[in-house]
Structure 1
Amino acid sequence: IIGAYFSWAIYLGRSYPPFHVAGSGYIWDSGFWTFFRNSFYFKSVWNTSVWWFYGYPFMVLIAIGFWLPPRPVEDPKQRTLSAIPYVWLAAAIVIYLAAAREITSNPWNYHIFHVPFAMFCGRGAFLLATLASGPVLSPAVVLRAICIAAVTLVWSTFPLVRTMKTPIAMNGKLLGDELARLAQPGDLVVAIAPEVGDPVAVYYSRARGWVFPPGGGDVEWSKFVADDATAIAQLEELRAQGADLFGTAKNAADKQDRLFLEHHDGVIDYLGKTATKLVDSDDLLVYRISRP
């Protein structure tokens, strides 16, 4: 079943626009020494864990649950159940070591770790709540459990509220909505969201298409190329593959904080000569780039 699924996914990626098979960025694509020089991208893992998925309190509970496993029992079934989070974590680590670049580029791939971490977290919370009291459900245990839950939720969530409420993708959504309004059936789109590499605009366009600059494998998704000539060549390649609409949020910037409209002003001039401008608002710029 797994083989059939991936075979079908590869077939679709090679047969239909945007002709991209997700899943590049493995160690055999970039080479072991590239991974090694980047410390297997652990800094990205740490930042995502602290400032997005877990926060320090949950990470402490996870560590406690990991280092203090349940006591060995005679029942084989119970021993098997106790081993599940460790086996799952080991398998996830193997996958991570092989695909660290892809996983850190697309953080939702971290979900492979969430199940064992949730088990360790629950174990850690249980150990702290029953510390020196045993497993008996006494008032002290209940009070400690409430305090642990409150401190963990508050300390993990409140520091991130400002970041979580920042509408970083709003112009990307608006761009996608505008592309959806302008697109004709079968049109392919090229879109640059405020955070370069984010596919949110393509998603809301309800069409197939590409982010710009196109990435994957050894090609960086979230960084503009150095010069206009290379960017124009990338755009022309997408046009040759059938791209019809090109849109960008005017605040689109790459991870080096370079605004697209400033860094690639030559591309904008080129579009002005070779494409039809459809939208030029305070926030968005959209061209029809399909060949006659």
Structure 2
Amino acid sequence: MEPRNHTDVSEFFLLGLTDDPELQPLLFNLLLSTYLVTVLGNLLNILAVISDSHLHSPMYFFLSNLSFTDICLSTTTIPKMLVNIQAQIQSISYTGCLTQVCFAPCFVLTFVGLENFLLAAMAYDRYVAICHPLRYTVIMNPQLCGLLMVLSLLISIVNALLHSLMAPLWLSFCKDLDIPHFFCELGQIIKLTCSDTLINNILVYFLASLLGGVPLSGIIFSYTQIFSSVLRMPSDGGKYKAFSTCGSHLSVVSLFYGTAVGVYISSAVSDSSRKNTMASVMYIMIPQMMNPFIYSQRNSDIQGALKKPVCRIPSFL
């Protein structure tokens, strides 16, 4: 393809996930339903933790922050998709597209990174609770919980800013300016450039390996120690209770990283940009929607706390 400098580019074309106009309403309703369920489910989790004093503990502190992160991540992406589908927007100016590249990925990467670190912090919390129960309140004090939350947020923001600063504002583009997405996504924009993107790719893979691998290694280490400690317990009741406190978190971790692996495999084996985009969309939709249901179904404390605000609703009507 013949390259042309970015100064000659007037607009990009957003193709969405399908060209079929009959599928657009179905896709709109699916995204809207997913978004509403995600927001409502996670809001109920946050409300349950806030309203029940028995849940004012480190584990539920991280859970409420995880729910808030899920709401923010979904709000950063899905409403924009809904607006573009409803308005049938197919073109976007060069300036508008690169503005999205700078700001939209910054928020998305921040919340994805924050969720990654929160899952690691929750695994450490379960490790301390099971392997060092007598020192749990001393180790998992409010200061440490707050510090872990702040560090997670700061690292996620720095990572997102590094990616955004590497946005291809100075690169040349080819004639093919079609973006198989609802908005200007950084990875898709890089694919359209005719300039050397080696530095961009190195940065993306290095930071993804570092900031994804370190929390995952922490989770694996925590559960290795947990399983070792549980297997040494003499009573079956103690083993069941210990495993039950980790069941919800393990399910959420498996869903989060399992979906990420699925997206990576899809992008590696498929040449279809639309299929890869669909996989990416699923990654920022499915875990965030399922997390509150996993915790509410597998955690009796959450179930009990959720009944209180629900039971109060008739008194306000």
Same fold (TM over 0.5): no
Alignment TM-score, normalising by the size of structure 1: 0.25
Which structure's residues are more often helix, by fraction?
2
Alignment TM-score, normalising by the size of structure 2: 0.23
Is the radius of gyration larger for structure 1 or structure 2? 1
Which protein, 1 or 2, shows the higher relative CO under an 8 Å CA cutoff with sep ≥ 6?
Answer: 2
